[in-house]
Amino acid sequence: MGFLNNVRSFFSFNQKDKEKDIVNAFNKAFYEYIGGQGASYDYDRKTYLDKGYGRNPDVYAIIQQQADKINSVPYYVHDIEDEKSLKQLKTLEGFAPTNLSLKQLVKRVELKNQAFGSDYKPFPLENPNPKQTWKDIFALYQAFMQTTGNFFLYMVKPEFGVNKGQPSQVYVLPSHLMKIVIKDGADVLSEDNVIDHYMLVEGNQTITFDTDDVIHVKLPNPFFDFQGGHLYGLSPMRALLRNIESSNDAIDQNIKTLKNGGVFGFISAKDNTISADQAQQIKERMRAMDVDRSRLSNIAGLSFPIEFTKLSLSTDELKPFDYLRHDQKTICNVLGWSDKLLNNDEGAKYDNLNISQRNVVINHIMPRLGLLEEKLNADFIPLFKGYENSIVKWDYTELPEMQQNIRELVESYSNAPISPNELRLILNMPASEIDGMDMIYIDGNKRAINEVSFSDLELDKAFGNES
């Protein structure tokens, strides 16, 4: 456990008593010079985490809602019985994961039954580490993927003994502090693994991690360079940084306006001039009135008429909430969420909320968990004894948002020429051993097809031969 003690001492050594807000003066001056097309915030992963998730309420709310939804999706570990069926199942689910036709649903059930065994296995390593649960791990996964585009999971493995190479604990590494170190002289265009090791860097403190001990999940990154920059995931915050800064500035300006009591400007006499002493006395009187909370504190008298010339715009004139709504919608669009789920009253009807909840599951939660599922099945699950031929799968059909599909499915196919057991399997229910459950029934009275008989008169009517 010496290595873990080094990690703990590393983080305790780098604790800061007070956060410092460092302004990149060059960036600010440069972008203002060319017309303010960029953000004065630094374009780096630390900034994305601090200014986005740590400071912006919309970003924080979105990521927290997404993390909660991810943790509500059940997952199961299956033994693989047929690799060919599993590949076909992945192709089918990847092509149309939720809007499958009846034929595709029946095929999905068939492939699933062929690919997996009938029993589930417990998820290996019940507790990832003494301080966290898997829900904590998955929540951090979403937070780091949304802020930095990367997720690094460190696996502690015994080097000796019967459990050699089998993870005993896992820890989430701070992806905003991680560096990918490339092998000396490596060709980044080759098919070989060019990563030599991973390194956690904070100031002049570093910790090195072997590549075999780290699971790296990342978002696609089209920005290639020969230094390996494309090996990092692309953070969504890179495209959002201007909107995050705009949103933060609007909130700061709102607070500033409230603290200042509104607009500022100059007081002057209408018909005469005000001496410096008179101006100072008026200012002192106004300051005393602002401090005094008695009923008559805001009433004062002057012996001459005055007027006020404002030098700033009021909150109503600046319309900061219009900008905040625009930034909020943009932030939601980039992060794969719906602004209707952020207590936004505009268009947030009951039906719209149901549709929005279902859409974000399909368009964001499922693909995001798919990335994690793929990595865990390749680099984590097979490391455990007895799990060499097992995989983990998240089941989205059990979410409340997806139940509308189930109701529509039952209504649409209850009278289809399929047996009750086939319908149960389509609905992810076990087959029943009751007599007749494998029989095909017709019409709403559910008569067995081999029990239906027709008279000659009924046949004539059916074929239009009635005299």
- Could you tell me the residue ranges of all domains in the chain? 246-320, 407-462
CA distance 218 to 235: 9
Return the residue matching tokens 């080759």. 190
Q: Where are the alpha helices (DSSP H) in 209-313?
A: 236-260, 276-291
Model confidence at 447, pLDDT cuts 50, 70, 90, reads low
What is the rounded average pLDDT for all residues in the chain? 80
Q: pLDDT tens, 260-318? A: 666 667 777 777 777 888 888 888 887 787 777 777 767 777 767 877 777 665 556 55
Model confidence at 140, pLDDT cuts 50, 70, 90, reads very high
Q: pLDDT tens, 18-60? A: 444 444 554 444 444 444 456 788 899 999 999 999 999 999 9
| Close Cβ partners of 79 (under 8 Å, ≥ 6 residues apart) | 116, 117, 119, 121, 389, 390
Largest Cα span, the chain: 116
Better pLDDT: 11 or 286: 286
Q: What is the pLDDT of residue 448?
A: 59
Amino acid at 421: N
| Close Cβ partners of 147 (under 8 Å, ≥ 6 residues apart) | 45, 48, 49, 52, 53, 63, 176, 235, 237
Q: What is the pLDDT of residue 36?
A: 46
Q: What is the pLDDT of residue 347?
A: 56
Q: Name, of 215-229, 402-416, 427-441, the range with top average pLDDT.
A: 215-229
Amino acid at 328: Q
Determine the 3-state secondary structure of 394 from DSSP: strand
Terminal-to-terminal C-alpha distance of the chain: 93
309 burial type by CB count under 10 A (0-12 exposed, 13-18 middle, 19+ buried): exposed
Going by C-alpha positions, the residue among 208, 70, 88, 39 that lies closest to residue 145 is 70
Q: What is the pLDDT of residue 164?
A: 92
Better pLDDT: 415 or 366: 366
Model confidence at 257, pLDDT cuts 50, 70, 90, reads low
Lowest mean pLDDT among 60-64, 120-124, 423-427: 423-427
Taking a C-beta distance cutoff of 8 angstroms, is the pair 166, 384 a contact?
Answer: yes
Q: What is the pLDDT of residue 300?
A: 75
Taking a C-beta distance cutoff of 8 angstroms, is the pair 89, 111 a contact?
Answer: yes
**pTM reported for the whole predicted model:** 0.74
Structure tokens at 321: 């909430």
Q: CA angle at residue 430 from 424 to 435, to 5 degrees?
A: 75
CA distance 308 to 303: 16
Distances (CA, A) of 444 to 38, 106, 341: 64, 21, 40
Q: How many CB atoms lie within 10 A of CB 368?
A: 20
Phi, psi of 14 (to 5 degrees): -95, 15
